[in-house]
Amino acid sequence: MRLKTILPAMIALTAVFGFTDKTVTTASNLSPEEAQVIAAEAYVYGFPMVISYKTMYAYSVDKKSSEYKGPFNHVVCEARVYTPDDKVVVTPNSDTPYCFVWADLRQEPLVLTVPKLEAERYYSWQLIDLYTHNFAYVGTLTTGNDANKYLISGPNWKGKRPEGIDKVFKSETDFVLAIVRTQLFSSDDLPQVKKIQSGYKVEPLSASLGKKVSKTPTLPEFPKWVEGAQIDERFFAYFDFLLSLIEPVDEEKPLMARFARIGLGTGKPFNMSELSPDIREALKEGVKSGFGQIEDFLKEHSSDPLASAKIFGTREFLTNSASRNYGLDNPYLMRAAAAHAGIYGNSAAEAMYPAYFTDSEGKPLDAAQHNYSLTLKKGQLPPVNAFWSLTMYDAKTQLLVSNPLDRYLLNSTMINQFKKEADGSIVLYVQKEAPGKNLGPNWLPAPDGPFYTVMRLYGPKPSALEGNWTPPALERAK
């Protein structure tokens, strides 16, 4: 991930996240300078939520969207991997066919049923709340590959674990995204993956118990998503709407009171036009400041191979990681940077993402100017319990790269196809043109311009998690 602790000039801005109720004043004496600081705070805090809303709207609200998957509380599966035509989520995985569920837990919990899978096949259900915390997992590395049932509840459910339910997973928010990954061994394996996907099921708890299903509450009036709103003042209207869908934890209520000073989370729709011209301008500047913080953070930590292991996880994990790894009082900037770099990344124990934004000499990657290679020495393959891959992305779009081979990654399932060197090592060629000399199987096609690559380690072993294993360098051809 392109991950910077805050510039000195911005340290004071971030520090105010810890304000208490006593510091909250009325809007009548709100200066443009104060409004800008609060706006930047709100932007950093709410950025991952708004980016996630973009996905929610495309996948389960806008039926006219080319990315529409299906209604709330339905498992929608695709027995295919992602391609450059998939544009909603940046830095997408192209290893595993996906299923998705946007869950609405306001009325009652959902029961998740999973089938038995082969012991050697990896799968996972990643459960993500509206804040973008990975609050729980079901799958190979956490619950195993046996058939089972699990309960997913919202924050206000007070029931007991029903008979036949193995575990209960409680979300902080009533709307939850489940991202389901099922390992694909080869193109010939698609029918088996499709069969497995057909065994994934969610249903209301009442239906699972053979009772009459309660009527689902009317869905909120979801604001139409307009692309680009995430990086300008239109952001605030979306964030205000999302605040209506959550109940903040106690320690964040003073922060919500600060946001209310610029009209956010007040219980009535946010209206920029109702603010005075100087306050409107302050909010615009707050967006620029907040976005600048996110980008600075990413640039500062772009060379950290363990960055992805530090920025995705539960609320508790992120809070501890922010303090331990970045000296921050809270996880908001780190959480926003994670969403900007590649939203919905897995928690470290599930997967790690060593990323390459520069070559071994620290220079930006550009396939229009150079060819590159990555050498996997004999006996030193990425240490995983499941599988690994190396995926190509266009640096301008953060999406997969179209190429004549329709090849977007190289991974461990291809290990027997790779041409090996005399010493047993494997050289992967990262460039826009085919390398020739029967090296086609080792070629990862790059765009004619800037790019970055991400290595994915599913089920990373302790040597990777603890930093004892170093990802091989991406070398520029001389």
Task: Read off the pLDDT of residues 306-351 as tens digits, 9 standing for 90 and up.
Answer: 899 999 999 999 999 999 999 999 999 999 999 999 899 999 999 9
User: Tens of pLDDT along 169-223?
Assistant: 999 999 999 999 999 998 899 999 999 999 999 999 999 999 988 787 899 999 9
Strands (E), 52-189: 76-77, 98-104, 110-114, 123-129, 134-139, 148-153, 167-170, 175-182
Q: Which residues contact 136 (CB under 8 A, 6 or more apart)?
A: 127, 152, 169
Distance CA 24, CA 5 (A): 27
Contact 292, 59 (CB under 8 A): no
Cβ neighbours of 421 (radius 10 Å) = 12
Q: Which of 291, 319, 342 is the last residue of a domain?
A: 342
Q: What is the pLDDT of residue 297?
A: 97
Is residue 399 domain-resident?
Answer: yes
User: Tens of pLDDT along 67-83?
Assistant: 999 999 999 999 899 99
Q: Do both 180 and 235 map to the same domain?
A: no
* Lowest mean per-residue pLDDT among 236-240, 316-320, 403-407, 465-469: 465-469
Q: Do both 135 and 232 map to the same domain?
A: no
To the nearest whole percent, how much of the chain has pLDDT over 90?
Answer: 87
User: Tens of pLDDT along 349-393?
Assistant: 999 999 999 999 999 999 999 999 999 999 999 999 999 999 999
In the block, residue with structure tokens 């995705």: 312
Alpha helix positions (H), 114-171: none
Torsion of CA 299, 305, 309, 312, to 10 degrees: 30
Asked if residue 6 has pLDDT above 50, the reply is no
Q: What is the pLDDT of residue 378?
A: 94
Distance CA 114, CA 242 (A): 31
Helices and strands, number each (H, E), in the chain: 11, 18
The sign of the torsion formed by the CA atoms of 79, 72, 207, 113 equals: positive
Phi, psi (degrees; rounded to nearest 5) at 203: -155, 155
Is residue 60 domain-resident?
Answer: no
Element (H, E) at 388: strand 384-394
Q: Which of 311, 342, 373 is the last residue of a domain?
A: 342
| pLDDT band, residue 28 (cuts 50/70/90) | low
Average pLDDT over residues 41-53: 98
Which tokens is 142 given? Answer: 């956490």
Distance CA 70, CA 218 (A): 17
What are the Cα distances from residue 250, in Å, to 47, 170, 183, 256, 257?
21, 17, 40, 10, 12
The CATH number for 376's domain is 2.60.120.1600
Q: Do both 236 and 310 map to the same domain?
A: yes
Asked if residue 7 has pLDDT above 70, the reply is no
Q: In the 3-class helix/strand/coil scheme, how is 12-65 assigned residue by residue? A: HHHHHHHCCHHHCCCHHHCCHHHHHHHHHHHHHHHHHHHHHHHHHHHHHHCCCC
pTM (predicted TM-score): 0.87
Q: Which residues contact 13 (CB under 8 A, 6 or more apart)?
A: 6, 37, 40, 41, 289, 293
Q: Do both 263 and 322 map to the same domain?
A: yes
Q: What is the pLDDT of residue 89?
A: 85
Residue 265 belongs to what domain range? Answer: 8-53+224-342
User: Tens of pLDDT along 401-430?
Assistant: 999 999 999 999 999 999 999 999 999 999
Domain count, the chain: 3
Q: Do both 95 and 145 map to the same domain?
A: yes
Q: Do both 91 and 113 map to the same domain?
A: yes
Asked if residue 267 has pLDDT above 80, the reply is yes
Is residue 61 domain-resident?
Answer: no
